[in-house]
Amino acid sequence: MSSYTEARSRVVLATALLAALTACKEVIVPNYNSPNTSQLENAPNAATVNTTVAGLIAGARGSAGTWASTMGVFGREIMNLDGAEPRNVLALLIGPLEPGGFGVDVGWSNTYRNLRTASTILDVLPNVPDYTAAQRAGVEGFVKTMMAQELVNQLRARDTFGLVVSVPKSTTEMGPWVTREEGYTRAAALFDEGKTALASAGTAFPFTLPSGFAGFNTPVNYTKVNRALKARMEVYREKWPEALAALSESFINTAATTPASFNTGVFFTFTTASGDSPNPLYDPAPRALVAVPEFLVDARKRADGSRDLRATNKAIVGTVNLATQGISSNVRPIVYPTNVTPVPIIRNEELILLRAEAYYRSGNRAAAITDLNFVRTNQGGLAPLANDFAGDLVTEILYDRRYSLFFEYGHRWVDSRRYNRLGDLVRQLPSHRVFPLIPIPVDECNQRSPQPKGCVNVLGN
């Protein structure tokens, strides 16, 4: 049985335990901050912890489709025109977004189940008798990196609404609500604590990582992933020296120009094995998922008049035109050509673009142009920007990120918000709105008094 299949079984069990726990409480809604982890607490041995770590990866993978699809809709990368589910238009394109409405969970449940499980792993780790000190450090480093990334996932969605960063052991307590800035501070600390632990983790992890972590499945190499993810987070919170420092310790590489070198990174993988899951973004017909109509026509032209290769390699004009509620598209994404195509967690191409942005915002315009040109010429086939390019470099950065990172992680929505350019996103109809952030799920709101400021309808622009 694969590590993902084992993990999937554990996630199903955890969900059942959570349901049982909720049924015994007076609170009607589930407490996502404190799911039941008694099995792990009662059996702190290496085999149990190793399986639970695999479960963390499976739990994180469970949100991968959400980041690319729901946030891809918000960022006008794709549209979900499933005729059987009108809320993909009514809720996500028209709104308002409501705390109890369609699509607002956006990984919230998975995040807090994962954080509760991760916290329990760290609690029992000192008592695992069949780990060496190095193996304990390896588990700690990996788990803290995952915890930090889970917080970043929610900060991307909720932004100034804030979030919960600590998950109490007691099922009757709730972690305190913190601000966006406090959330990022906690995530940064977890990334750094993870890096420190990984430095003492020896040559191998005690658990097996899925194939999507190939090349980064040892503590030394996984530290580069830790730094890559931290660099992305530092760009989000505009800590430019910290971002450049983290990038220098990541797996960023501009020594090679092959497509494989740009694709180097870590990925969520999928299988069709019993108990596992196929890629939820695979939609070959398509039945529901289409690129926005302007994706191909907005792409810059190459010298021969053809479009940016990053556009034509990721979407095509298809034979099926999906239409519903007054909007349509025949532009079919081909980012995920099979039902087992991996979904990126972070790739070298993104790291180069992150460095370009950090260089520019640090005042090093020439270095930013060099990095942008490395991506756009090798991946897009475009002419390079002139060394003395005097135009708006933010527009160029956002353009390259749009086409390099299309349909991966909801990047365009987050990027547009970061630069106050949500108004540039195309609305297919006058009734459509662009939402700046996502409200807090109603289950969380109903358990808090006073309620967080994110327990409101988001009307959009």
**Is residue 327 assigned to a domain?**
yes
**Is residue 429 assigned to a domain?**
no
DSSP 8-state symbol, 436: S
Tell me the C-alpha distance between 86 and 207, whole Å.
43
pTM across the whole model? 0.92
DSSP 8-state symbol, 204: -
Q: What is the pLDDT of residue 39?
A: 65
Q: How far is CA 163 from CA 33, 151, 158, 436, in A?
A: 11, 8, 7, 16
In the beta sheet, which residues pair with residue 331? 317
DSSP 8-state symbol, 307: B
Tell me the C-alpha distance between 360 and 394, whole Å.
9
CB 254 within 8 A of CB 374: yes
Report how many domains make up the chain. Answer: 1
What does residue 71 show for φ and ψ, rounded to 5 degrees?
A: -70, -25
**Is residue 305 assigned to a domain?**
yes
**Is residue 183 assigned to a domain?**
no
Tell me the C-alpha distance between 401 and 368, whole Å.
13
**Is residue 308 assigned to a domain?**
yes
Q: What is the pLDDT of residue 37?
A: 60
Q: Report the candidate in 161, 146, 189 with the shortest Cα–Cα distance to residue 58.
A: 146
- How are beta strands 315-324 and 163-164 bridged, if at all? unpaired
**Is residue 440 assigned to a domain?**
no
Below-70 pLDDT ranges, the chain: 1-39
Q: Report the candidate in 401, 296, 259, 405 with the shortest Cα–Cα distance to residue 343.
A: 405
Q: What are the tens digits of pLDDT across the range 206-249?
A: 999 999 999 999 999 999 999 999 999 999 999 999 999 999 99
Neighbours of 1 (CB within 10 A): 12
Full domain range(s) for residue 295: 289-333
**Is residue 120 assigned to a domain?**
no
Q: What is the pLDDT of residue 40?
A: 77
Q: What is the pLDDT of residue 3?
A: 41
Q: Report the candidate in 210, 347, 345 with the shortest Cα–Cα distance to residue 276.
A: 210
CB 29 within 8 A of CB 18: no
Tell me the C-alpha distance between 460 and 438, whole Å.
10
Q: What is the CA radius of gyration of the chain?
A: 22
Q: Report the candidate in 415, 397, 410, 327 with the shortest Cα–Cα distance to residue 359.
A: 397
Place of tokens 């060099």: 370
Amino acid at 437: L
In the beta sheet, which residues pair with residue 344? 267
Q: Report the candidate in 201, 244, 243 with the shortest Cα–Cα distance to residue 222.
A: 201
Place of tokens 């994404």: 333
CB 54 within 8 A of CB 7: yes
Amino acid at 281: L
DSSP 8-state symbol, 63: T
The H or E element spanning position 76 is: none
DSSP 244-277: HHHHHTTT---S--SHHHHT-EEEE----STTS-
**Is residue 221 assigned to a domain?**
no
